[in-house]
Amino acid sequence: MIRVDPNSSIPPFEQVRTGYAVQINDGTLPVGAKLPTVRKLAEDLGIAPNTVAKAYRELEEAGLIETRGRAGTFVSAVGDESRERARQAAADYAALTRKLGLDRDEAKAIVDAALG
């Protein structure tokens, strides 16, 4: 179940997006699992439907979920590839930092700053 902390400095759409992304990537939500409708989730969380819709759009853009028209929104098989995509991006980043002459500590500091 996704939760939204109204007192958090993290915007509600990001809390929803991150919550689902984590559950998809750790297998809690398996490929093919159906997500609640935008309206239902918004009602359950006490947030605006547009907030949920924005989170769903970003998850869909990332390939983690797919909308099948009236059938609903489901965890995508492409989501299984997200860890591999992240590993490849990390390998590319490591190669770039070596090419630029950055040392390991500086490269890690840049990643830490980007992750916030």
Q: Residue ranges per domain, the chain? A: 12-75, 80-115
Band (pLDDT 50/70/90 cuts) for residue 79 is low
Check if the beta carbon of residue 65 is closer than 8 Å to that of residue 79: yes
CATH fold, domain 12-75, is Arc Repressor Mutant, subunit A (1.10.10)
Percent of the chain clearing pLDDT 90 (strictly above)? 82
For residue 9, the model assigns a pLDDT of 96
Using one digit for the tens of pLDDT, what is the confidence trace for 26-57?
889 999 999 999 999 999 999 999 999 999 99
Burial of 18 (C-beta count, 10 Å sphere; 0-12/13-18/19+): middle
- What pTM did the predictor assign? 0.71
Place of tokens 């984590």: 22
CA distance 113 to 3: 26
For residue 103, the model assigns a pLDDT of 94
Whether residue 87 is predicted with pLDDT greater than 90 in this model: the reply is no
For residue 116, the model assigns a pLDDT of 86
